[in-house]
């Protein structure tokens, strides 16, 4: 007997707006497509949830690698792991474009239910949906702009905004699933025959959306999968185009390092428990040289195989009293004004024999735009952390 009064107390009904305001899309019977149904919405939602979940997890991995908390550990092997996770992140993100568009179309009429807000809880629920839609659109649009490296329309630092909005989106998504779970179950369990529409069927619509997602993936995944390079006509980067057949995000001129990188007085500074050493290029070339075939994988989704030749970081650290390269290393660049003018090389990478300060690329002297005179190349790391124009290595015990 107390249930209804108690419910009215904690979730009071809101006044219904006058019917005079029920115009345009708020009118009854405006949306007439027979394709829209709980079943269609639930199926699209399931696909979109898988895509968003995959994007979130792979994006979180990339963020943790670039900004590692104390508890985080990332291996140096297999060398292709980051290439795969980031490639999946970008490919899945692009594939969500038709999925998100179809999902929003399927639920579009619900944005104009009447009355717009029945109770306080109903209002909060609709507000959470608005947050989910806004966050999802923000992630997709800014992700596309980042892949295209078109940052002017953003007006903010992409990485930070994308990361925190991802948490907002995944939180709103989980809340939405929790609220709509009975509807989702009912929709997925619905086996009723499709209504005759005289046009595109539900299965036809789902096939079109799925086909669009596959087409987008094939047309862009060549940036990561070499076998698809020839048909990836929508990929903004060709992994074999650039100085020494490798793309460059920032040229040496734009990074303002040309003078410092070509200065005859250049010396690499190495610091560790046994003191500090300054090595000229002649000193470095006199050390044992090693060659490693390692991919370079960028956060924008492109990656490419390359052959690097140089000095093992572990050998350089041994010169200053770090046995086997077992240390955390601060790698500093000659570049002064950049968020990525330095990076942290964790022990698994510092001691890996494939981690080099490269002097050559594909057997040729390293080009200025690829980080001459020395460029860090380590297995299983984002390209943004493969510091160019290395000025110093500073080892610290872990």
270 and 279 Cβ atoms separated by less than 8 Å? yes
Nearby residues of 184 by Cβ (< 8 Å), 6 or more positions away: 42, 45, 46, 177
Which pLDDT value is given to residue 93? Answer: 95
Pairing of strands 328-333, 342-345: antiparallel
Q: What is the pLDDT of residues 370-397, one digit of tens each?
A: 999 999 999 999 999 999 999 999 998 6
Q: Evaluate if residue 121 carries a pLDDT over 80.
A: no
pLDDT recorded at residue 11: 61
- pLDDT at residue 228 in the model: 87
CA dihedral 166, 172, 175, 179 (to 10 degrees): -140
What distance in Å separates the CA atoms of residue 315 and residue 327, rounded to the nearest whole number?
A: 12
Residue 117 pLDDT more than 90? no
Q: Give the pLDDT confidence score for residue 3 in this predicted structure.
A: 56
Answer for the pair 280, 267: CB distance below 8 angstroms, yes or no: yes
Query: Does the pLDDT value for residue 79 go beyond 60?
Result: yes
pTM for the full predicted model = 0.90
Predicted confidence (pLDDT) per residue in 206-261, tens digit: 999 999 999 999 999 999 888 888 888 888 888 888 999 999 988 999 999 999 99
Q: Is it the case that residue 2 has pLDDT exceeding 60?
A: no
- The larger pLDDT score, comparing residue 234 to residue 329, is at 329
pLDDT band with cut points at 50, 70 and 90 for residue 105: very high
Chain mean pLDDT for the chain = 90
Residue 110: predicted pLDDT: 82
pLDDT of 186-210, one tens digit each? 999 988 877 766 678 888 999 999 9
The domains of the chain are located at: 34-191+201-231, 245-396
Is the predicted pLDDT of residue 155 greater than 60, yes or no?
yes
Residue (of 253, 250, 236, 220) closest to 93 by Cα position? 220
pLDDT classification of 309: cutoffs 50, 70, 90? very high
**How would you class 359 by CB atoms within 10 Å of its CB: exposed for 0-12, middle for 13-18, buried for 19 or more?**
buried
What crossing angle do the helices spanning 81-107 and 202-220 adopt, rounded to 10°? 150
Q: Residue 25's pLDDT is what?
A: 77
Q: What is the pLDDT of residue 108?
A: 85
Dihedral sign, Cα of residue 198, residue 199, residue 201, residue 202:
negative
pLDDT of residue 356: 98
- CATH class of the structural domain 245-396: alpha beta
- The whole-number pLDDT of residue 112 equals 82
Q: What is the pLDDT of residue 53?
A: 96
Question: Where residue 8 falls among pLDDT bands split at 50, 70, 90?
Answer: low
Instruction: Find out whether 316 and 284 touch, Cβ atoms under 8 Å.
Output: no
Torsion sign (Cα): 20, 21, 25, 31: negative
Higher pLDDT, 281 or 183: 281
pLDDT at 1: 41
């Amino acid at each position: 007997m107390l249930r209804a009064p108690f419910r009215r107390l904690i979730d009071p009904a809101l006044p219904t707006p006058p019917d005079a305001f029920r115009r345009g899309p708020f009118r009854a019977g405006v949306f007439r497509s027979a394709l829209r149904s709980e079943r269609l919405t639930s199926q699209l939602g399931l696909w979109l949830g898988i895509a968003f979940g995959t994007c979130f997890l792979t994006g979180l991995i990339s963020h943790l690698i670039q900004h590692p908390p104390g508890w985080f550990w990332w291996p140096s092997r297999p060398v292709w792991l980051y290439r795969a996770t980031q490639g999946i992140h970008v490919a899945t993100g692009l594939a969500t474009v038709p999925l998100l568009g179809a999902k929003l179309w399927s639920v579009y009429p619900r944005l104009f239910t009447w009355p717009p807000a029945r109770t306080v809880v109903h209002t909060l629920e609709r507000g959470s949906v608005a947050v989910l839609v806004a966050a999802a659109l923000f992630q997709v649009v800014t992700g596309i702009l980042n892949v295209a490296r078109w940052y002017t329309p953003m007006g903010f630092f992409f990485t930070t905004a994308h990361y925190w909005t991802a948490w907002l989106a995944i939180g709103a998504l989980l809340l939405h699933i929790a609220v709509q779970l009975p509807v989702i179950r009912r929709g997925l369990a619905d086996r009723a025959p499709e209504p005759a529409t005289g046009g595109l069927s539900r299965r036809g619509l789902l096939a079109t959306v799925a086909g669009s997602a596959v087409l987008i993936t094939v047309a862009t995944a060549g940036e990561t999968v070499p076998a698809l390079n020839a048909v990836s006509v929508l990929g903004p980067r060709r992994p074999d185009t650039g100085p020494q057949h490798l793309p460059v995000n920032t040229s040496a001129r734009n990074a303002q390092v040309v003078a410092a990188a070509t200065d005859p007085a250049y010396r690499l500074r190495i610091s560790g428990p046994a003191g500090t050493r300054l090595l000229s290029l002649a000193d470095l070339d006199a050390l044992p040289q090693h060659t490693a075939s390692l991919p370079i994988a960028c956060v924008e989704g492109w990656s490419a195989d390359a052959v690097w030749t140089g000095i093992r970081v572990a050998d350089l650290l041994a010169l200053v009293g770090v046995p086997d390269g077992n240390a955390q290393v601060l790698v500093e660049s000659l570049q002064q004004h950049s968020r990525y003018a330095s990076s942290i090389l964790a022990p698994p990478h510092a001691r890996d024999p494939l981690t080099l300060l490269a002097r050559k690329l594909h057997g040729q002297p390293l080009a200025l735009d690829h980080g001459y005179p020395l460029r860090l190349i380590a297995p299983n790391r984002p390209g943004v952390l493969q510091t160019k124009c290395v000025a110093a290595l500073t080892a610290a015990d872990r």
